[in-house]
Amino acid sequence: MFGSFFDKKNDNANEELKQHLVIVDKISKMNLTELRDYVNNKLKNFGITEDGLIEAMKKLVLPDEKTGKRYLLMDDMDSKKKKAFELVLLVGKSKKITIETVELIQDFTLEYEDLINQYDEDFREIYSSRLKDTISYSLANMHQLTEFKNKMSVLGE
């Protein structure tokens, strides 16, 4: 009786793990343009997920396991830097954002603070303040989502 119940739970866990690995694999092979399309939910047969946003931010923040280099370097082309900044802003505005994603956005702003400030100074942009505003917006968005979930649980739905 309980065996079939536990087997179904185990199958669901295996399926979630497989989906997570597929997401990680696909995102690890994407460039900035493809990541932007993914965050904008414009890729066919590959919908945006919370895990996907986390993996996209990890790709930007954490060093590559094989080379040990970060995704953005000081001597990268300016267009690559701008695309990365815009991608982080898009991730921050997503409705699928989680606290882990917000923490990764904060890590991005801290890790690339010098790069962001240099880009702002060279091109008279305001990415530094826009990224900070995105963090605030993301936290407010998460707060609203949490309140909505709490209301729904009180209503029993």
Contact 97, 114 (CB under 8 A): no
pLDDT tens by residue, 93-132: 998 899 999 999 999 999 999 999 999 999 999 999 999 9
Which of 122, 115, 64, 118 minimizes the C-alpha distance to 88?
Answer: 115
The torsion angles phi and psi of 71, rounded to 5 degrees, stand at -70, -40
Mean pLDDT: which of 7-16, 66-75, 82-91, 135-144 is highest? Answer: 82-91
Which has more pLDDT, 44 or 100?
100
Three-state DSSP class for 127? helix
Which of 39, 126, 28 minimizes the C-alpha distance to 87?
Answer: 39
Which pLDDT score, from 0 to 100, does residue 8 have?
57
Residue 17 has pLDDT above 80, yes or no: yes
